[in-house]
Amino acid sequence: MSKIMDVKDLCKTYIIEKQQNHVLKNVSFSVEEGEMIAIMGPSGSGKSTLLYSVSGMDKATAGTVNFNGHELTKMGEKEMADVRLDEMGFIFQQMYMMKNLTILDNILLPAFESSKEKDKDKVVKHGEDLMRKLGIIEIAGHDINEVSGGQLQRACICRSMINDPKIIFADEPTGALNRTSSKEVIDELAKLNEEGTTILMVTHDAKVAARCSRVLYLVDGNIRGEYNNSDKTKSEKERERALTTWLMDQGW
């Protein structure tokens, strides 16, 4: 395995009304290609901030992030936007999609903004193939308000995959879903991971985190603990139970 991301001494400080809020305090970790990592921790511990800072969506205050050979923290806006578009995929709890576009057009949008593939037929076929794979091809022509939350989140996964990213960043991708849809979404993410896409996601759900190969536990802007969950010989239930015990020890 090779290292796809290396984060060193990452700091993020927000200044509000002259008060400094040190949200990330010298966070260091690295991600191997093919890993599926969950970031957990109490609300307000800096999980979302960490995800946005390492993906270049937000500017870090100090520290370095090397991603796939790019020194993200030294890049300009435009250059960084291209890396995000071509090499990263994003999934959020709130499923941001354009209201005036069909589901398929929403999925295709990042492809037309990217410099990667310009052949329209190929792009459309790729989008449809992804929808078929995620079991939602029947909603291709629908508006976003005509589908369920679970379907919409699966569409968001398709959108995140349209430019064949090296890594997917997900911020509580199952946070707004019921148990059944949540399981479908994590199943799909696990499948993409098995096929080679690296995944870094924030989650509150031990069931979801138990599907990841590693868990980072964030407290007050620091990684307090790290859990190795790569032993696939255990059953899903056993993995979840063991992780929950570990989380309790962390003060979860």
Start-to-end C-alpha separation, the chain: 31
User: Which residue, 158 or 216, has its beta carbon nearer to ligand ADP?
Assistant: 216
Q: Residues 48 to 107: which contact ligand ADP by CB under 6 A?
A: 48-49
Instruction: Determine phi and psi for 231, rounding to 5 degrees.
Output: -75, 100
User: Which residue, 39 or 161, has its beta carbon nearer to Mg ion?
Assistant: 39
Q: Which stretch binds ligand ADP (CB under 6 A): 47-55, 80-88, 145-153, 241-249?
A: 47-55
> Counting contacts by CB under 6 A, is residue 44 touching ligand ADP?
yes
User: Which residue, 48 or 193, has its beta carbon nearer to Mg ion?
Assistant: 48
Residue 209's contacts (CB-CB under 8 Å, 6 or more residues apart) are: 38, 40, 203, 215, 229, 243
- For residue 200, the one-letter residue type is L
Crossing angle for the helix pair 179-194 and 149-161, nearest 10 degrees? Answer: 20
Residue 250 burial class via C-beta count within 10 angstroms: exposed 0-12, middle 13-18, buried 19 and up: middle
Q: Residues 122 to 181: which contact ligand ADP by CB under 6 A?
A: none
Interface pick for ligand ADP out of 4, 23, 65, 136 (rule CB under 6 A)? 23
Q: Residues 41 to 100: which contact Mg ion by CB under 5 A?
A: 48
Rounded to whole angstroms, the Cα distance separating 198 from 37 reads: 8
What is the pattern of x (binds ligand ADP, CB under 6 A) and - over residues 177-216?
----------------------------------------
Contact of 204 with 176, CB cutoff 8 Å? no
- Residues in contact with ligand ADP by CB under 6 A are 14, 16, 21, 23, 41, 43-49
Return residues touching Mg ion (CB under 5 A): 48
